[in-house]
């Protein structure tokens, strides 16, 4: 699911060498490589009191399961034991879209689960984005240099990330997700808004 993208109306680049026609590429916000399929899970015991003239009255217990991504409830389920619930949640997280019969999904939200347009690409953050960054270079899964994104010189689309104010500064340690590997095309650049420690997840 790492290559899921969403189109944006933002275009970058409009200049080239003398006499050269340069097409304006479309910006595509990509899912962050560290953003999991599901970033929050919940399991809780649910009780109910059953009454019946035929079989008698008693308390019944089940375990409610919920899956979230960026604060959105994307699937719910119920099963009969904590062990079964934990196993079902683990399989759901590992299996991606392949959920078993224990689960019910918000179909519209499920189809657009990784729609990244206007959402902060920082893993776990549900905030609206305030800036758009284009990658200068792209790297493969082995962390090897893959290719230049060349945001100002190619036709078609260019890839990047969108961030909110709290996550606009990316640091200098990573390869693709680093301050020096981005070109800011909309909003404030990373060095214009310092990290606010009060907004960092504990």
pLDDT at 143: 63
The tally of domains found in the chain comes to: 2
What pLDDT is recorded for position 200? 58
Do 160 and 89 lie in one domain? The reply is: no
- pLDDT, position 198: 65
Same domain, 78 and 177: no
State which of 83, 111, 139 marks the end of a domain: 111
Q: What is the pLDDT of residue 194?
A: 65
- On whether both 105 and 63 belong to a single domain, the answer is yes
State the residue range of the domain holding 163.
5-31+115-199
Say whether both 171 and 189 belong to one domain: yes
Task: Write out the E strands in the chain.
Answer: 5-11, 26-30, 40-50, 58-69, 72-79, 103-105, 131-135, 137-139, 145-148, 157-163, 182-186
User: Domain check: are 121 and 194 in the same one?
Assistant: yes
| Residue 7: predicted pLDDT | 45
pLDDT value of position 201: 55
pLDDT, tens digit only, all 202 positions of the chain? 444 344 444 444 444 444 444 455 688 888 898 888 789 999 999 999 999 989 999 999 999 999 998 888 889 999 999 999 999 999 888 876 567 778 888 777 666 666 767 889 999 999 999 999 998 888 776 665 555 555 444 456 788 899 998 899 998 988 889 999 998 988 988 887 666 666 655 4
In 6-41, which positions are buried (b, 16+ CB within 10 angstroms) versus exposed (e)? bebebebbeeeeeeeeeeebebbbbbbeebebbbeb
Please tell me whether residues 105 and 119 are part of one structural domain. no
CB atoms under 10 Å from CB of 179, counted, come to 17
Instruction: Say yes or no: 107 and 119 in one domain.
Output: no
Question: Model pTM?
Answer: 0.72
Domain final residue pick, 96, 111, 126: 111
């Amino acid at each position: 699911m790492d290559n899921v993208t969403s189109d944006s109306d933002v275009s970058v680049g409009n200049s080239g060498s003398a006499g050269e026609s340069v097409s304006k590429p479309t910006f595509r916000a990509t899912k962050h490589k560290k953003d999991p399929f599901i970033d929050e899970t919940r399991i809780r015991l649910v009780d109910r009191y059953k009454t019946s003239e035929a079989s008698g009255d008693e308390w019944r217990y089940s375990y409610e399961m919920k899956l979230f991504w960026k604060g959105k409830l994307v699937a719910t389920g119920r099963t009969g034991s904590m062990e079964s619930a934990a196993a079902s949640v683990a399989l759901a997280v590992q299996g991606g879209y392949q959920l078993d019969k224990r689960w019910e999904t918000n179909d519209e939200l499920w189809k657009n689960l990784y729609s990244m347009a206007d959402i902060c690409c920082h893993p776990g953050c549900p905030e609206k984005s305030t800036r758009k960054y284009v990658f200068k270079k792209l790297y493969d899964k082995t962390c090897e240099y893959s290719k230049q994104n060349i945001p100002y010189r190619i036709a078609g689309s260019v890839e990047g990330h969108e961030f909110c104010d709290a996550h606009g500064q990316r640091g200098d340690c990573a390869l693709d997700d680093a301050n020096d590997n981005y070109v800011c095309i909309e909003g404030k650049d990373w060095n214009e808004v310092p990290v606010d420690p009060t907004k960092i997840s504990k």
